């Protein structure tokens, strides 16, 4: 009998171009996604060395980090403006397809890849961006790379990579009503820490993962990097196939059916061996809120913010102390008593149509709290359009939310959408580091549903008490 293999092993074997014992492998790359922040020096390197982009047809660029999400034509920041102009010039010169700021395909790079069907099971996918792990939701091996590696991939369509170890994160049972994929990944990182994935590619398995929609799976894989992992992925199944059916860059008819069978055959075989396995029970998970300055510093919405004395070691205590100080919290107060001034619904973690729809379901018939400024930033132009066609923009606007154009926006302070110093934001993004949403800004990571509920109440609240429809 054939030796059972993991999805990672199967993809790896199909992509090794050169192997030498004890050295990294040279891997073929099927899809290279490019954005304006990490590509300028890479293209410049090609120019200096008089090289071409080897496979422009396997390369796709967009503008996301720097783009304004209102007044599209007014780019105030000089660096942002230069980076966007440079990407345009580079894509023209090197023949790389580009969805620029005004293009109907524009959006956050990790939202548009799947949306266009560029992201497919079994592919090796890279991008000069750490959240490339998002694409792993499709059973692709997708990871972020640095700018010098971007240049290498542009020039050769390959990359040197040491074969990673595999870590099975098995999620048993079912998530409760009102508990989302975002709560799941926050709870995983909260339980095992922000370093437990270091050196591994995580494969998420188990009943709760199988039951997730593709949007939910993308949310989970997106945050693999916040667990320290190289990448995170989920074996392809019928959910994956159905999401991709009919998308622009996938074949149709019989060719699709054949491809779908190949995709499903990539799933990890029964009995395959992982280097490590951890397990968690979905039923134990409550809606989560981060209280501190890394995504592992999260607690259930019913819990109290930890106090310095709760630290297990001196180091722990020091970390808690610093985080409490930065976050302007005492320690010991219920997280639900913490008032917020901003709500951001967006980012590559939670800005897809399904995310916006679920947030809108909570908001409907309510109004944003008078002390709160709330914005919704669709992940792509096409998400925006889909939401508008469904009337979701109206629900948000009537409730007092701002309805913006697509981009990374308030996820990171690289554009005009910034949280002012000392102010607090409930955010559906993936990073709550010091200064992430602006100098001195205080970020609390939550699900779209929890963000919507906080916008209405002006403080964190268990969304389940507002009566939420059953979905993940
Ligand atoms: C700007 C980019 C390099 C960065 C990343 O790699 O993740 C950004 O997307 C982020 O989320 O911090
Ligand atoms: S939305 Fe945020 S996390 Fe995602 S790519 Fe943009 S800046 Fe990075």
Q: What is the CATH number of the domain that holds 50?
A: 3.30.499.10
Task: Based on the fold, state whether residues 147 and 225 are members of the same structural domain.
Answer: no
Q: Tell me if 129 CB under 6 Å of ligand 1.
A: yes
Task: Based on the fold, state whether residues 296 and 432 are members of the same structural domain.
Answer: yes
Asked if the model's pLDDT at residue 81 lies above 50, the reply is yes
Q: Tell me if 209 CB under 6 Å of ligand 2.
A: no
Number of other CB atoms surrounding residue 455 within 10 Å: 30
Asked if the model's pLDDT at residue 123 lies above 70, the reply is yes
Q: Say what the pLDDT of residue 468 is.
A: 55
Dist. CA 182–CA 212, nearest whole Å:
11
Task: Based on the fold, state whether residues 221 and 345 are members of the same structural domain.
Answer: no
Residue 241 resides in a domain = no
Q: What is the mean pLDDT of residues 136-152?
A: 98
Helix (H, G, I), strand (E, B) or coil at 373: strand
Taking phi over 0 as left and psi of -120 to 50 as alpha, with beta for the rest, 199 belongs to left
Cα–ligand 2 centroid distance for 261 (angstroms): 33
Cα–ligand 2 centroid distance for 346 (angstroms): 9
Domain boundary, last residue among 226, 251, 284: 284
Q: What is the mean pLDDT of residues 272-298?
A: 98
Q: Tell me if 147 CB under 6 Å of ligand 1.
A: no
Dist. CA 342–CA 324, nearest whole Å:
19
The length of the chain, given as a count of residues: 472
The two tokens of residue 263 are 């995709």
Q: Whose CA is nearest to atom 7 of ligand 1?
A: 130
Overall domain count for the chain = 3
User: Minimum-distance ligand to the CA of 347?
Assistant: 2
Number of other CB atoms surrounding residue 262 within 10 Å: 11
Q: Say what the pLDDT of residue 466 is.
A: 84
Helix (H, G, I), strand (E, B) or coil at 298: strand
Task: Based on the fold, state whether residues 275 and 351 are members of the same structural domain.
Answer: no
In 3D space, the residue among 99, 73, 77, 76 whose CA is nearest the CA of residue 88 turns out to be 99
pLDDT, tens digit (0-9, with 9 covering 90-100), for 416-468: 999 999 999 999 999 999 999 999 999 999 999 999 999 999 999 999 998 65
**What does the mean pLDDT of the chain come to?**
97
Task: Based on the fold, state whether residues 310 and 449 are members of the same structural domain.
Answer: yes
Asked if the model's pLDDT at residue 472 lies above 90, the reply is no
Residue 411 CA, closest ligand 2 atom number: 2
User: Minimum-distance ligand to the CA of 427?
Assistant: 2
Task: Based on the fold, state whether residues 80 and 95 are members of the same structural domain.
Answer: yes
pLDDT, tens digit (0-9, with 9 covering 90-100), for 259-283: 999 999 999 999 999 999 999 999 9
Task: Based on the fold, state whether residues 296 and 369 are members of the same structural domain.
Answer: yes
Q: What is the CATH number of the domain that holds 224?
A: 3.40.1060.10
Cα–ligand 1 centroid distance for 105 (angstroms): 20
CB 454 within 8 A of CB 424: no
User: Minimum-distance ligand to the CA of 36?
Assistant: 1
Higher-scoring residue by pLDDT: 32, 471: 32
Long-range contacts of 390-395 (CB under 8 A, 24+ apart): 390/353, 390/357, 392/356, 392/357, 392/360, 395/360, 395/363, 395/364
Domain boundary, last residue among 118, 141, 163: 163
Q: Whose CA is nearest to atom 8 of ligand 1?
A: 129
Q: Whose CA is nearest to atom 9 of ligand 1?
A: 129
Long-range contacts of 268-271 (CB under 8 A, 24+ apart): 268/4, 268/5, 268/6, 268/7, 268/203, 268/205, 268/235, 269/2, 269/4, 269/5, 269/6, 270/4, 271/4
Q: Say what the pLDDT of residue 469 is.
A: 54
- Whether the model pTM is above 0.95: yes
Residue 210 resides in a domain = yes
Residue 42 resides in a domain = yes
Asked if the model's pLDDT at residue 73 lies above 90, the reply is no
Task: Based on the fold, state whether residues 140 and 187 are members of the same structural domain.
Answer: no
Q: What is the mean pLDDT of residues 40-46?
A: 98
Q: Say what the pLDDT of residue 413 is.
A: 87
Task: Based on the fold, state whether residues 83 and 129 are members of the same structural domain.
Answer: yes
pLDDT band with cut points at 50, 70 and 90 for residue 219: very high
Q: What is the mean pLDDT of residues 103-123?
A: 98
Residue 55 resides in a domain = yes
Q: Say what the pLDDT of residue 462 is.
A: 97
pLDDT, tens digit (0-9, with 9 covering 90-100), for 348-390: 999 999 999 999 999 999 999 999 999 999 999 999 999 999 9
Residue 257 resides in a domain = no
Q: What is the mean pLDDT of residues 324-342?
A: 98
Q: What is the mean pLDDT of residues 314-337?
A: 98
Domain boundary, last residue among 139, 163, 187: 163
Q: Which residues are annotated as a binding site for [4Fe-4S] cluster?
A: 348, 408, 411
Residue 414 CA, closest ligand 1 atom number: 1
Domain that holds residue 454: 288-466
Q: Out of 67-81, 92-106, 186-200, pick the least confident.
A: 67-81
161, burial (CB in 10 Å: exposed 0-12, middle 13-18, buried 19+):
buried
Which uninterrupted H or E stretch holds 62?
A: strand 59-62
Residue 184 resides in a domain = yes
Residue 93 resides in a domain = yes
Residue 2 resides in a domain = no
Task: Based on the fold, state whether residues 408 and 311 are members of the same structural domain.
Answer: yes
Residue bearing tokens 């939701």:
137
Task: Based on the fold, state whether residues 173 and 141 are members of the same structural domain.
Answer: no
Dist. CA 239–CA 237, nearest whole Å:
5
Task: Based on the fold, state whether residues 314 and 275 are members of the same structural domain.
Answer: no
């Amino acid at each position: 009998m054939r030796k059972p293999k993991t999805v990672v092993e199967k993809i790896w074997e199909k992509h090794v171009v050169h192997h030498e014992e004890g050295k990294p492998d040279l891997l073929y790359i099927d899809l290279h996604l490019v954005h304006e922040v990490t590509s300028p020096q890479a293209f410049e390197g090609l120019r200096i060395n008089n090289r071409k982009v080897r496979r422009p047809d396997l390369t796709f660029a967009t503008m996301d980090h720097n783009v304004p999400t209102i007044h599209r034509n007014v780019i105030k920041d000089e660096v942002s403006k230069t980076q966007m102009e440079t990407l345009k010039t580079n894509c023209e010169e090197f023949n790389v397809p580009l969805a620029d700021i005004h293009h109907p395909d524009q959006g956050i790079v990790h939202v548009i890849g799947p949306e266009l069907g560029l992201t497919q099971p079994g592919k090796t996918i890279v991008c000069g961006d750490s959240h490339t792990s998002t694409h792993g939701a499709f059973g692709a091996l997708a990871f972020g790379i640095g700018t010098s590696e971007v240049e290498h991939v542009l020039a050769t369509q390959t990359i040197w990579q040491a074969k990673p170890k595999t870590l099975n994160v098995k999620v048993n049972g079912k998530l409760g009503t009102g508990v989302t994929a975002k709560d799941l990944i926050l709870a995983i990182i909260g339980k095992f820490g922000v370093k437990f994935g270091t050196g591994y590619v995580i494969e998420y398995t188990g009943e709760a993962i199988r039951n997730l929609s593709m949007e939910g799976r993308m949310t989970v894989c997106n945050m693999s990097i916040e667990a320290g992992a190289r990448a995170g992925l989920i074996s392809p199944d019928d959910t994956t196939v159905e999401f991709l059916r009919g998308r622009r860059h996938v074949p149709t008819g019989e060719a699709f059916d054949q491809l779908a069978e190949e995709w499903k055959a990539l799933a990890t075989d029964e009995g395959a061996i992982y280097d490590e396995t951890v397990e968690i029970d979905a039923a134990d998970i409550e809606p989560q809120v981060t209280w501190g300055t890394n995504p592992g510093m999260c607690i259930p919405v019913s819990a109290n913010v930890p106090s310095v004395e709760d630290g297990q070691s001196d180091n722990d205590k020091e970390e808690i102390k610093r985080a409490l100080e930065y976050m302007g919290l005492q320690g010991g107060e219920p997280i639900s008593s913490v008032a917020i001034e901003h709500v951001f619904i967006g980012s590559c973690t939670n800005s897809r149509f399904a995310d916006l729809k679920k947030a809108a379901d909570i908001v409907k018939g309510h109004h944003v709290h008078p002390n709160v400024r709330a914005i919704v930033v669709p992940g792509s132009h096409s998400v925006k359009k889909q939401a508008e066609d469904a009337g979701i923009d109206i629900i948000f606007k009537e409730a007092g939310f701002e309805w913006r154009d697509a981009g990374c926006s308030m996820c990171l302070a690289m554009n005009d959408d910034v949280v002012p110093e000392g102010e607090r934001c409930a955010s559906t993004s993936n990073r709550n580091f010091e200064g992430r949403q602006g100098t001195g800004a205080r970020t609390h990571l939550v699900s779209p549903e929890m963000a919507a509920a906080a916008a209405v109440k002006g403080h964190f609240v268990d969304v389940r008490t507002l009566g939420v429809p059953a979905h993940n």
